[in-house]
Structure 1
Amino acid sequence: MTDFTRLPDLASRALGGAVVAANDEFFAARENLVLPEPAVERTEFGHKGKEYDGWETRRRRTPGHDWAIVRLGAPGIVGGIVVDTAFFSGNYPPHASLDGAAIEGHCSVDELTKADWQPLLALHDLAGNTHNHFPVFSDRRVTHVRLNIHPDGGVARLRVHGTALPDPRLVDAGPFDLAALENGGLVTGVSNEFYGRPSQLIAPGLARSMGEGWETARRRDSANDWVEVQLACEGVVTLLELDTSYFLGNAPGTAALTGSGPAGEVPLLPRTRLQPDTRHRFVLEGAPGVDRVRLDVYPDGGMARLRLWGRPTPAGRAALGRRWFDALPDVQALEVLGSVGVPPQEAGRLVGARPLGADLPPQVARLLDGPA
């Protein structure tokens, strides 16, 4: 994917992202950085001066720079960032950089500031009142990012676009949504997205309005609309949910779901009638493993959510586990191996030998390839 902005915003509050710390937020609150909606212009003045829809620090009178730390809603591999300085014209930072860290577990803010931060984006110039786009070239999975602004100023929004990469240890706990954005699902193709983005189909939670789903333009031909989703890993879907909530006069009349995987293309749900404003659930029995699905809606219309509950196949779980482990920064990879009882010297050897082969200690094989 060449346009990194087509990748999900891993930092968005809509995905569970949060600004957990900042060294200064005198003029405008740090939490605004990850709000999903675009920044708006404000004209009012408060006790501290003109108000802005963003994060703004005071004028720095000492050496150094300001920073804000964001916990990603979905840990993953960053493909690019947007530093949006909308409406900050005389008070934007002239330069910015970005660091990433991979944290094991749930740490305090104090522990987070002492984490092993690694550069994701070197210091770059910024323009005011502009969406500043920067590709990021990294193959490491991160759980947090730190935006550094030099020396001070205001930023409206930070978008951290990338590919979610779930922790396979959580996947092993039970059935999960193979299509969910937060689990690594990704929209790879769509026929039409005139009114609503297809990525919202696999967003967390329930839609709160028609605007939080996928909706196509009205068709005037004999074809139909569709969307394709790459799953978190190859898996067996056992429960399908097609949610048309809030779509009353514009829900599809019927829909079908087709999967593709090692067995080729397979029908998962035949063309089935849908109702407006309804969460439809279908139990799928005897379905083979698939790693992609195509949802066809007839002839057009809107859908709030697509859920594909199931379990990874053995091959899918192993591929996910190894992709996850290979993407861990060295420090977290050592912590992970230590948590399953691998001695430090052996852990160091394994981390340095990535990608690993098939001859592994039993506890490492279970970690990477899943329970036998």
Structure 2
Amino acid sequence: MTIGDQPAQTAGSFTALTDFTGDALPYGGGNPYADYRRARLPFAGLAHLTDRRLGAGIIAANDEFFAERENLLLPGPAVFDPEHFGHKGKIMDGWETRRRRGVSAEVPHPDIADHDWALIRLGTPGVVRGIVVDTAHFRGNYPQAVSVEATAHSLSAAPEDLLDSDVEWTELVPRTPVGGHAENAFAVHVERRFTHLRLRQHPDGGVARLRVYGDVAPDPGWLTELDTFDLVALENGGVVEDASDRFYSPPEHTILPGRSQKMDDGWETRRRRDAGNDWIRYRLVEQGVIRAVEIDTACLKGNAAGWASLSVRDGAEGEWTTLIPRVRLQPDSVHRFLVNPIPSTHVRIDIFPDGGISRLRLFGSLTKNGLARLTEHTEAVS
């Protein structure tokens, strides 16, 4: 496996998708991303498990002297302002620790085991497939190496719970050299369900962003007690399998929590100049029956879809059955429909002719077979 011209390095539980190491050039003015070392990431379509909108958070770090740990999970690329200084020094958009020192004048360098760490709560339990340690703008002050471990615990675990010596941590990425001002990417091959990560930087330095991608692994017992829930919500294990167009914003936005807050927080396609239409195909968390549907066009005012229809099928090769025939959509509005419950595993929304929607909610419950399969899968990765 290779990513562009960068050889992939496989070692047990992970594959290094990039081989960036060493310093980047000092900032020389102009666009700070002009010499940024990017990776081709094979994680498109996977859930972003460290998305704050799902409930992810940085719950502890041993040091954040120069820059706060919370910056690790901020959305969007890190920002660099060469004139931004504070009373502690240069203010960076990332997590940055102080410089470590040795124990004496005779031993001025840090010990090989010295490192800084941060504890990260995933937004939802999941199987990790990919990790990106982004050192954007950390050109000579990035860590020499990083490592990542994971554990399964209560989502509300306190730092002291996770730091208890009895907690079992699984190594996802062993201590691996990284590069400054670069997207350092790793594919993970551990088929386990986790809730928390521990990022270590060796021996110190700064990381701009941490992105973790994977498959949501919900708690079947929780969903069973809820009975009626959103069968396609990302946080419950729903997945966007395919879409006709991703030009302005991705279809995965349609299954995020909450209402859209701005236009690009939903799904918007380019303008069609043919006789076709746009669509998204979803896979439900498991086989279920949908009883109520909500199609939201929030913040899409001059570019909302004109009409929409909804179809379902049971199984990847099943026949499509119309659940909601083509109906008129209004801009910036919530549309609600009660529907005939039909056992299904997949849903397709067609919009006419183009435009977009911000959210799709499919309220229902799992069938007996769906619950059994979901329980079996969760037990297999726990």
2:71 is aligned with 1:38 = no
Q: Residue 214 of structure 1 contacts residue 302 of structure 1 at CA under 8 Å; is this kept in 2?
A: yes
2:71 is aligned with 1:21 = no
Mapping 1:136-151, distance limit 5 Å: 136-151=188-203
Task: Structure 2 unaligned segments of length 5 or more: list them.
Answer: 1-40, 102-109
Equivalent residue for 2:325?
270
SS at match of 1:306: strand
Task: Structure 1 unaligned segments of length 5 or more: list them.
Answer: 329-372
Q: Residue 14 of structure 1 contacts residue 36 of structure 1 at CA under 8 Å; is this kept in 2?
A: no
Equivalent residue for 1:192?
245
SS at match of 1:234: strand
Equivalent residue for 2:223?
171
SS at match of 1:6: coil
Amino acid at match of 1:99: E
Q: Residue 195 of structure 1 contacts residue 215 of structure 1 at CA under 8 Å; is this kept in 2?
A: yes
Distance in 2, Cα, partners of 1:228 & 1:33: 32
Distance in 1, Cα, partners of 2:257 & 2:216: 13
2:110 is aligned with 1:57 = no
SS at match of 2:225: coil
Equivalent residue for 1:358?
none
Percentage of pairs with the same residue: 48
Larger helix percent: 1
The more displaced of 31-40 and 308-317 is 31-40
Q: What per-residue deviation string (whole Å, max 9, x for no partner) do you get for residues 252-291 of structure 1?
A: 1100111111563221111111111101011112x21111
Q: What per-residue deviation string (whole Å, max 9, x for no partner) do you get for residues 281-312 of structure 1?
A: 11112x21111111110000021101111100
Mapping 1:241-256, distance limit 5 Å: 241-256=294-309
SS at match of 2:320: strand
Distance in 2, Cα, partners of 1:5 & 1:252: 24
Distance in 1, Cα, partners of 2:57 & 2:154: 17
Distance in 2, Cα, partners of 1:222 & 1:150: 57
Q: Residue 5 of structure 1 contacts residue 80 of structure 1 at CA under 8 Å; is this kept in 2?
A: no
> Structure 1 length normalisation: TM-score?
0.85
Instruction: State the aligned residue count.
Output: 326
Amino acid at match of 1:20: I
2:361 is aligned with 1:311 = no
Equivalent residue for 2:106?
none
Per-residue deviation at 1:106? 2.9
Distance in 1, Cα, partners of 2:65 & 2:44: 30
Distance in 2, Cα, partners of 1:181 & 1:165: 10
Equivalent residue for 1:283?
338
Q: Residue 45 of structure 2 contacts residue 241 of structure 2 at CA under 8 Å; is this kept in 1?
A: no
Q: What per-residue deviation string (whole Å, max 9, x for no partner) do you get for residues 91-136 of structure 1?
A: 0012111100000463221111122111011222211111111100
2:48 is aligned with 1:9 = yes
Equivalent residue for 1:155?
207
Equivalent residue for 2:11?
none
Amino acid at match of 1:100: A
* Residue in structure 2 matching 1:205, options 236, 252, 258: 258
Mapping 1:293-308, distance limit 5 Å: 293-308=347-362
Distance in 2, Cα, partners of 1:69 & 1:294: 38
SS at match of 1:228: strand
Distance in 1, Cα, partners of 2:297 & 2:371: 31
What RMSD in Å do the two structures reach over aligned CA positions? 1.2
Q: What per-residue deviation string (whole Å, max 9, x for no partner) do you get for residues 334-363 of structure 1?
A: xxxxxxxxxxxxxxxxxxxxxxxxxxxxxx
Equivalent residue for 2:346?
292
Per-residue deviation at 1:14? 2.1
SS at match of 2:362: strand
The structure 1 segments of at least 4 consecutive aligned residues displaced by more than 6 Å after TM superposition are: none
Mapping 1:224-235, distance limit 5 Å: 224-235=277-288
Distance in 2, Cα, partners of 1:5 & 1:127: 23
Distance in 1, Cα, partners of 2:206 & 2:369: 47
Amino acid at match of 2:366: P
Distance in 2, Cα, partners of 1:105 & 1:161: 18
